[in-house]
Amino acid sequence: MLQWQIFGVVAVIAMLLEMVMPSFFFLNFALAGIATAIISVWISTVPTLWIIFLILSLLSIVLFRPFCLKRFKNEEKSQTGVESTYYGKVAKVIEPVTKTSGIISIFDERWNARLADSQTDDIPEGQEVKIVGNDSLIMFVEKI
């Protein structure tokens, strides 16, 4: 088998592993395998190519992986669904809100509600509250 084929197979296997276990770890080996396969056009000694592959892999892990992890970690923080629709919005209390019970109305929807951790006093019916969090179908609110 030609040298470029060896590193091409290594790159394909690394890409498959990255698809199965997405962690931006095996992607580094795939990139190093592709680069080494290209370099093997000019260098034909197998030990030298393996050294180049290892160096490129380490460089990729040190330089490329942190960049990808940082970028995709920031994307996970973007708000979607409940967070972007309800957080910070004003709702009206339908049934008094305590640490253990309560119901609010927002956008003509009824939601179970509880006092946020910072709140100590119950919120009476008819009062307006601000939504500060949620846990599944329960909204956490505080007085305005």
Per-residue model confidence as pLDDT tens digits over 12-71: 999 999 999 888 889 999 999 999 999 998 998 989 999 999 999 999 999 988 888 887
Q: What is the pLDDT of residues 2-15, one digit of tens each?
A: 888 999 999 999 99
Q: How confident is the model at residue 82 (pLDDT cuts 50, 70, 90)?
A: low
Q: Which fold has domain 82-143?
A: OB fold (Dihydrolipoamide Acetyltransferase, E2P) (2.40.50)
Please give the pLDDT value at position 66: 86
Say if CB 28 and CB 60 are below 8 A apart: yes
Say if CB 112 and CB 138 are below 8 A apart: yes
Distances from the Cα of 63 to the Cαs of 25, 68, 70, 135, in angstroms?
12, 9, 12, 37
**Residue found by looking up tokens 């396969």 in the block:** 37
For CA atoms 5, 9, 15, 18, give the dihedral sign: negative
Q: Provide the residue ranges of all domains of the chain, joining segments of one domain with +.
A: 3-76, 82-143
Give yes or no for residue 76 having a pLDDT over 70: no
C-alpha span between 141 and 144 (Å, rounded):
9
What is the value of pTM for the model shown?
0.50
